[in-house]
Structure 1
Amino acid sequence: MKKRRELAIKLDALGPRLLVERPWLGRLYARLMAPRPSLRVFPGWTFGREFFVEHRWMATRRGILWRYALRNELDIWVVLPWHGGTRLEARLGNDESFCVYVAGSFEPNEFAFLDRTLRRRMTFIDVGANDGLFTLFAAARVGRRGCVLAFEPSSRERAVLERNLALNRLRNVDVLPVALANEPGEATLQIAPALHGGHNTLGGFAHKGVAAIATEAVQLETLDAVTARLGIARVDVIKIDVEGAELKVLAGARETLRKWQPVLLIEANDEALRKQGASTADLLALLRSLDYAVFVFSETTGLEEPWAEGAPLSANIVAKAFPPSEA
Structure 2
Amino acid sequence: MQPVSPACWQIRTNMTSTQSTPPVIDFPIVETEPFIFRLAMNLVRKKIRGGFRLLTLARQAGLLNKLYRHHLSREVQLLIPLYRPDDALDGIGVEDYESQVVQAFAAFIKNLPGKVTFLDCGANIGIMSAKMCAACPNINRVVAYEPNADVYSLLQKNLANLPVPAQARQAAVGNMQGTGSLKSPPHDPSSHARFVEADPEGDIFVERLDSLDLTPGYSLALKIDVEGHEWEVLEGASKTIENADGFVISMEAHPRHFQRTQRDPSLMLKWLTQLAEVEFQVSEKPDLKVDPEKPFFEQFSQDMVYNIICRSGLAQ
TM-score range, shorter chain: 0.5 to 0.7
RMSD (Å), alpha carbons: 4.2
- Give the total of aligned pairs: 271
Q: 1:67 to 1:255 in 2, by over 3 A?
A: same
- Give matches, 1:21-60, under 5 Å: 30-31=33-34, 55=46
Q: Among residues 291, 295, 299, which one is paired with 2:281 in the alignment?
A: 295
CA contact (8 A) 2:31 2:70 kept: no
Distance between the aligned counterparts of 2:28 and 2:181, measured in 1? 40
Q: Among residues 299, 302, 313, which one is paired with 1:311 in the alignment?
A: 299
CA contact (8 A) 2:118 2:139 kept: no
Deviation at 1:282, TM superposition (A): 3.1
Deviations 1:129-160 (A, max 9, x none): 11000112233445597111111222222111
Distance between the aligned counterparts of 1:321 and 1:169, measured in 2? 26
Structure-1-length-normalised TM-score: 0.66
Equivalent residue number for residue 123 of structure 2:
129
SS of 2:196's equivalent?
coil
SS of 2:190's equivalent?
helix
Distance between the aligned counterparts of 1:56 and 1:103, measured in 2? 18
Q: Among residues 198, 208, 211, which one is paired with 1:225 in the alignment?
A: 211
Deviations 1:222-281 (A, max 9, x none): 21222x1x5364133111001111110011111222222411110112422554563334
User: Does residue 1:178 correspond to 2:166, yes or no?
Assistant: no
Distance between the aligned counterparts of 1:72 and 1:281, measured in 2? 48
User: Does residue 1:266 correspond to 2:251, yes or no?
Assistant: yes
Deviations 1:181-219 (A, max 9, x none): 112222122379xx8222221149xxxxxxxxxx96122
Q: 1:258 to 1:25 in 2, by over 3 A?
A: closer
SS of 2:115's equivalent?
coil
- How many percent identity over aligned positions? 20
Equivalent residue number for residue 257 of structure 1:
241
CA contact (8 A) 2:133 2:162 kept: no
Q: Name stretches of at least 5 consecutive residues in structure 1 with no aligned partner.
A: 1-15, 36-47, 205-214
Equivalent residue number for residue 8 of structure 2:
none
Equivalent residue number for residue 164 of structure 1:
158
CA contact (8 A) 2:106 2:136 kept: no
- Give matches, 1:279-290, under 5 Å: 279-290=264-275
One-letter amino acid of the counterpart of residue 279, structure 2? A
Q: 1:103 to 1:255 in 2, by over 3 A?
A: closer
Q: Per residue, is there more strand in 1 or in 2? A: 2
Q: Among residues 237, 247, 251, which one is paired with 2:231 in the alignment?
A: 247
CA contact (8 A) 1:191 1:216 kept: no
User: Does residue 1:88 correspond to 2:78, yes or no?
Assistant: yes
CA contact (8 A) 1:51 1:102 kept: no
Distance between the aligned counterparts of 2:268 and 2:164, measured in 1? 34
One-letter amino acid of the counterpart of residue 222, structure 1? R
- Give matches, 1:4-15, under 5 Å: none
Q: 1:179 to 1:102 in 2, by over 3 A?
A: closer
Q: Among residues 66, 70, 74, which one is paired with 1:77 in the alignment?
A: 66
CA contact (8 A) 1:243 1:273 kept: no
Q: 1:222 to 1:62 in 2, by over 3 A?
A: same
Deviation at 1:294, TM superposition (A): 2.4
Q: 1:71 to 1:223 in 2, by over 3 A?
A: same
Structure-2-length-normalised TM-score: 0.68
Q: 1:51 to 1:202 in 2, by over 3 A?
A: farther
Equivalent residue number for residue 200 of structure 1:
194
SS of 1:137's equivalent?
helix
Distance between the aligned counterparts of 2:142 and 2:29, measured in 1? 34
User: Does residue 1:97 correspond to 2:88, yes or no?
Assistant: yes
